Structure formats: C-alpha cells, structure tokens
Amino acid sequence: MREKLEQAGLRVTRQRMMIADLLFAKGDRHVTAEALYAEASVIPYPPSLATIYNTLRDFADKGLVREIALYGGKVWFDTQTGPHFHFYLEDREELFDIPEALIPSFDIPAPAGMRIAGIDVVIKLERLPESMNVAAPESATKRPNP
Amino acid sequence: MREKLEQAGLRVTRQRMMIADLLFAKGDRHVTAEALYAEASVIPYPPSLATIYNTLRDFADKGLVREIALYGGKVWFDTQTGPHFHFYLEDREELFDIPEALIPSFDIPAPAGMRIAGIDVVIKLERLPESMNVAAPESATKRPNP
DNA sequence: CTGTGTGCAAACTCTTTGCATAAGT
DNA sequence: ACTTATGCAAAGAGTTTGCACACAG
C-alpha cells in the first residue's frame, strides 16, 4: 500500500493510507466520496470529507482509480483502472463490473484529428418483479435507452 | 410542435413552445439546461432558468428527450430518444452522436432477476496536436479508459 | 526545516422547491 | 372557474477552496 502511494508520487500520510486501505484491500470497489466517508467514519480519527474528496481526486489524477460517467448527481470512482464496462442498479445505487467475457469487441474509429481518451459503458438495470425472478437473462442488443 | 406537447399530455404554454422550438426545430440536439437558457435568453421574455430545468425534466419524463450519463457536473439532454451512442469532446464540452453505422452489435445478458433499462455509451475524445491532424482514425478496441 | 497535506468552514456550482402570480383549457 | 405552469428567490446536494495548523521527507 505504502509503495502504491510512493510510486504514484504521493506523500504517505495517515489519511491517504487509510483511504488506500479501504479502496484497495478488498479487491475491486466502486465508491462515491460520501460512501467512502461513511465507511471511514467508523474508524477513530477518520479523514474529513474534504480530504476524502481531495484524495480521491489525487488518486484519479495519478491513475490509481478512475472516474466513472454516471447520471448527474454523484461522482463514482472505480479501483479497477483497466478496460471494463459497468452495470448500474438504479434503485440500490449500486455499480458493478460486467464480466470481461461478456464484453463484445468494440471498434469505433475516432473522427479525424481526435483520439479516443476513454470509453464508458454503463448498462442500467432494473429489478424484475419477484414473480419473474428466475426468468431467462434478457439481452441488450444494441439498444441504448429504449 | 403544438401537437408534440399535447400528445405528451403537457399543457401548451408560451415557454414550453419556445423551448420545444429550440430543441426540435433544427434536428438532433444535445444540450444542458444552462446552454439552453443562454440560447433562449436572446429572445424577448425568455423562460426563467428554473422553468428551463422544470421543462427539460417534464420533457424527459414524457419521453420527448432523454437524459445522458456524463461525468459529474451537468446533466445533458438529447432530443434523439432512440438507441445511439455518443462522442464527448471534453475540452469543448461538446456532445455528439456516433453514426449508427459505426456501432457494434451489443449482446450483454442481464443478470438473473434483472432487466436492462438502458445502455449509455460515451466515448471521450481528445483533440490531437495540430501536427497530427490528418492522422488515420484511431480505434477503440474494447478499451474503456486506458 | 520546508513544503505539502489536512481539517474546517465557507464558497461555489448545479439543480430543485415553495409560494404568489399568471395563464391554459 | 379550476388547475397547472411560471418566475423568483431561497434552499439543497455535491464538490471545491482558502487558510491556519500539522506532519512527512
């Protein structure tokens, strides 16, 4: 953890260590600043909310986490910085990864004079009524926001 | 235009007509509330900013426009409600459609007990330095946020 | 020691809301 | 007439910032 910060050129402080621990200890995570703050707040002498925000931004700048495009409201951060897509469960405000295996190959050319700086794919999910709970998985065949 | 509002079950008011005109008169548009407000403000007796916000939300509720997932900050509205993906030009804060022809077929199954409520694909673009302006189009092969 | 990070509160930005007035049907 | 929309200003949510103090290198 310590090296992770040093490698990124960030000073190793108690707060940053604590935040890094929360983020990276238990595998991939998808968090908002508020959620992380709530989580940190059970620990004695937790970082302030402002520090959580600043730290998440610093981490994002250094490539330790990445920001995710989502509807209005809050900014999400993802500890997995590599290529992958997301499911978003609106009613629970939960964000999780789409298994790599399910991701189709993508080959959209950038317009002339531009380069692709990142791709964000978010598939919004809705919980089906109980009675349909065991229905066959639905497909998302090229149909953004039907 | 009038019928568009009536069909949606919205009262036809001067302000809503003005906003609908701005949105739908000149083909597909991608706007933020602020931008639309600025645009409307050149007209005598323009709608207030609050009304722009309320109207855009009403329009979105009735399916006349759709909301687009973008990084933090502002909410965007798109007059094209059908399935399509977007390029986002960060430095200019411009959003535009990806031609249908370029969009790959997508077939990601929803997890059991869920259905897909919408797909948002945003490809962030960066302007290349002048010297490379005529470079061959780059590809976005399955590489979200490299 | 020196410079950077932290905490707090206040500022800021974007969006929504309450309430009195205006306008549509 | 009756109901819904509008405008304004004020409130609200999320995020950033300024400044004094603390701490890592």
pTM of the model: 0.84
Q: Could you tell me how many CB contacts below 8 A there are between chain A and chain B?
A: 218
Q: Note whether B145 contacts A103, CB cutoff 8 Å.
A: no
Contact predicate B135/A120, CB 8 Å: no
CB within 7 A of strand D (chain A, 1-20):
6, 11-14
Return the closest-CA partner of residue A82 out of A61, A102, A97.
A97
Tokens coding B111: 């997890």
Which residue type does B83 have?
P
For residue B21, which of B84, B70, B61, B64 has the smallest C-alpha distance?
A: B64
Q: What is the pLDDT of residues B39-62, one digit of tens each?
A: 999 998 999 999 999 999 999 999
Q: pLDDT tens digits for B95-140?
A: 999 988 788 777 889 999 999 998 899 999 998 886 554 444 445 5
The predicted structure's pLDDT at residue A141: 54
Identify all chain A residues contacting B34, using CB atoms and an 8 Å cutoff.
none
Per residue in A62-113, pLDDT (tens digit) is: 999 999 988 868 999 999 988 789 999 988 889 999 987 778 777 889 999 9
What single string gives the DSSP state of each residue in chain B? -HHHHHHTT----HHHHHHHHHHHTTS--EEEHHHHHHHHTTSSSPPPHHHHHHHHHHHHHTTSSEEE-BSSS--EEES--SS--EEEEGGGTEEEEPPGGGPPP--PPPPTTEEEEEEEEEEEEEEPPGGGTTPPPP---S-S--
In this predicted model, what pLDDT tens digit does every residue of A29-75 receive, in sequence order? Answer: 999 999 999 999 998 899 999 999 999 999 999 999 999 988 868 99
Q: Quick one: pLDDT at residue B16?
A: 96
